[in-house]
């Protein structure tokens, strides 16, 4: 088939500026292009040509930034040729304009965020978008549930397809490749033998880096040999200092343990920090669709501490590959969960091994491609059967989510040898600020826990 993939207006494809959606598309393209003729429509970038064919994929880029500008550009670009299928990523508000430009194409919508919420799209436009598409792919069950809460008619079109990770690039430190990466990073940043806790994401209140920082003095009471790395910046490839970034850095400077703030790290380099770390923490405060850093942490063999927000818990087996913090605004609970992992190196290794096994079994790109092709094949069958546009002709089984059952594999993966298996989500909702408005407090120290206070219980 002749397939168009339409990315969002925020970041370009390939993901030279980062981005979960862009990484998702780039991870699936190498296999998808062998089955169909693919054109990727995305936003322009100073470092990319407006049109090119690279590695067997054609790219067409139009001005982005504002959705309205991007929508018009995509509509005009699509008028010049005909496509069998148009796969739209995370922008239901593009559906109407794309339908005008391609009245005979089958439309698929991939949802990575809560973009059907009333603050993002009015109900009539949302209902119209759902009526036009044959299928709606979601990256977590949480997103599917969120859509059907407002649009129950979408239920038969939904299919969960979890994202993937390059398990050849994100590797445990127990492998020769991982050991080399770990030693290089630790030497460069003078981490030594400290237990390194890792955060990776945008520095915004929604992502909760400040809450994790507040947990560090509590954690240090029992584990003084820890260090923290905050990998990320204000926005993808943007190291400008916002009030929140300044606040986080002020907190970091007052910690009783070393805190490294890296700023933006290019997607091609971030796997090195995973290899250098011992525990991964995702302290999200908002309803995260399902942050892809979870997949990267599992592939790197890291135990995970995440929050009961959105889709994040869907990939966690509590006590087996990580823990879920039920009260994300409580630094004490983060300290307790992290301490539980640090208190037993053998248990931490077991959790990391199990996470790696899960990544290999369920979250490789070959599985993502297989699931996407299943949807594309179903739509192709609709075309052959002459089914009306927007009316999926698949069986009831075809509509069931493709989410994996995360059960422990029977065999243990040998982590002593290098693996040979197969590689923010930018929040799309208005940021909810939890402890302050847009300005940080005049004295950030007021939020640093005092270990002498009698109300503070000891870590477990």
The CA-based angle 94-148-98, given to 5 degrees, is 15
- What DSSP element (H or E) covers 362? helix 345-362
Region of 173 on the Ramachandran plot (φ > 0 left; ψ -120 to 50 alpha; else beta) = alpha
Residue with the two structure tokens 């292009």: 33
SS3 state at 265: coil
Cis check for the bond before 140: say yes or no (omega within 30 of 0): no
For residue 129, being part of any structural domain is answered with yes
**Does residue 406 form part of some domain?**
no
The predicted pLDDT at position 398 comes to 35
CATH number of domain containing 122: 3.40.50.2000
Does 382 share its domain with 418?
no
121 located within any domain: yes
The reply to whether 136 and 268 lie within a common domain is no
Q: How many folded domains does the chain comprise?
A: 2
One domain, residues 98 and 185: no
CA distance 294 to 303: 10
For the record, the structure tokens of 409 come out as 């594999």
- For the chain, count helices (H), then strands (E): 13, 14
Query: Positive or negative, the Cα torsion across 123, 126, 132, 138?
Result: negative
**Rounded CA gap, 160 and 139, in Å?**
6
Of 280, 77, 119, give the one whose Cα is nearest residue 86. 77
The dihedrals phi and psi of 344, each to the nearest 5 degrees, come to -140, 105
345 lies in the same domain as 436: yes
- Is 403 within a domain? no
Q: Could you give the C-alpha distances from 236 to 85, 101, 183, 195, 196, in angstroms and in order? A: 30, 31, 27, 27, 23
Q: What SS3 state is found at 197? A: strand
- The answer to whether position 279 is within a domain reads yes
Residues 257 and 369 in one domain: no
* Residue 329 and residue 387 in one domain: no
**Residues 145, 389: Cα–Cα separation, whole Å:** 24
Is the residue at 460 inside a domain? no
The whole-angstrom separation of Cα 438 and Cα 79 is 43
Find the domain containing 373 and state its range: 2-164+365-394
List, in order, residues 6 or more apart from 375 with CB less than 8 Å away: 108, 135, 137, 159, 161
- Per-residue pLDDT tens digits of the chain, which is 460 residues long: 999 999 999 999 999 888 889 989 999 999 999 999 999 999 999 999 999 999 999 999 999 999 999 999 999 999 989 999 999 999 999 999 999 999 999 999 999 999 999 999 999 999 999 999 999 999 999 999 999 999 999 999 999 999 999 999 999 999 999 999 999 999 999 999 999 999 999 899 999 999 999 999 999 999 999 999 999 887 655 677 888 999 999 999 999 999 999 988 888 899 999 999 999 999 999 999 999 999 999 999 999 999 999 999 999 999 999 999 999 999 999 999 999 999 999 999 999 999 999 999 999 999 999 999 999 999 999 999 999 998 744 333 333 333 444 443 333 333 333 333 333 333 333 333 323 222 333 333 323 333 333 333 444 4
* Residue 10: exposure state from Cβ atoms within 10 A (0-12, 13-18, ≥19): buried
Same domain as 302, residue 357: yes
Residues 145 and 181 in one domain: no
| Residue 170, domain member (yes or no) | no
Would you say residue 229 lies in a domain?
A: yes
Give dist(CA 371, CA 160) in Å, integer. 9
**Both 112 and 231 in a single domain?**
no
Together in a domain, 183 and 73: no
106 and 18 in a common domain: yes
Q: Is there a single domain that holds both residue 152 and residue 270? A: no
107/80 Cα distance (integer angstroms): 17
Contact 51, 59 (CB under 8 A): yes
């Amino acid at each position: 088939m002749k397939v168009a993939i339409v990315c969002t207006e925020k970041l370009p494809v390939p993901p030279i500026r980062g981005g979960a959606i862009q990484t998702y598309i780039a991870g699936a393209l190498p296999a998808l292009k062998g089955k169909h003729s693919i054109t990727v429509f995305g936003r322009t970038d100073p470092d990319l040509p407006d049109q090119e064919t690279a590695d067997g994929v054609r790219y067409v880029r139009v001005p982005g930034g504002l959705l309205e500008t991007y929508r018009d550009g995509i509509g005009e670009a699509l008028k010049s040729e005909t496509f069998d299928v148009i796969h739209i990523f995370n922008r239901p508000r593009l559906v109407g304009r794309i339908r005008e430009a391609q009245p005979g194409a089958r439309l698929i919508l991939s949802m990575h965020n809560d973009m059907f919420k009333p603050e993002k799209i009015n109900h009539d436009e949302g209902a119209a978008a759902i009526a036009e598409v044959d299928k709606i792919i979601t990256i977590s069950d949480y997103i599917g549930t969120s859509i059907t809460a407002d649009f129950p008619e979408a239920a038969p079109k939904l299919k969960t397809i979890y994202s993937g990770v390059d398990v050849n690039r994100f590797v445990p430190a127990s492998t020769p490749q991982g050991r080399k990466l770990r030693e290089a990073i630790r030497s460069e940043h003078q981490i030594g033998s400290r237990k390194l806790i890792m955060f990776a994401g945008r520095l915004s209140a929604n992502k909760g880096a400040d809450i994790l920082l507040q947990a560090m003095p509590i954690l240090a009471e029992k584990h003084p040999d820890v260090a923290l790395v905050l990998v990320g910046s204000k926005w993808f490839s943007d190291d400008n200092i916002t009030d929140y970034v300044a606040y986080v850095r002020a907190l970091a400077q007052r910690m009783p343990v070393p805190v490294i703030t890296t700023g933006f790290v290019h997607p091609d380099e971030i796997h090195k920090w995973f290899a250098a770390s011992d525990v991964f923490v995702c302290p999200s405060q908002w309803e995260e669709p399902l942050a892809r850093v979870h997949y990267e942490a599992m592939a790197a063999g890291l135990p995970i501490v995440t929050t009961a927000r959105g889709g994040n818990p869907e990939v966690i087996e509590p006590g087996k590959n990580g823990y879920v913090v039920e009260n994300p605004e409580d630094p004490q609970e983060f300290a307790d969960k992290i301490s539980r992992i640090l208190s037993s190196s053998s248990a931490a290794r077991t959790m990391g091994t199990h996470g790696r096994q899960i990544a290999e079994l369920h979250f490789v790109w070959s599985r993502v491609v297989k699931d996407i092709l299943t949807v594309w094949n179903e739509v192709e069958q609709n075309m052959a059967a002459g089914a009306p546009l927007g009316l999926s002709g698949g069986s009831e089984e075809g509509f069931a989510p493709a989410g994996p059952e995360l059960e422990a594999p029977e065999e243990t993966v040998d982590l002593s040898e290098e693996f040979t298996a197969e590689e923010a989500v930018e929040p799309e909702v208005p940021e909810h600020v939890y402890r302050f408005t847009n300005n940080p407090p005049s004295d950030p120290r007021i939020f640093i826990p005092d270990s002498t206070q009698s109300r503070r219980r000891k870590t477990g």
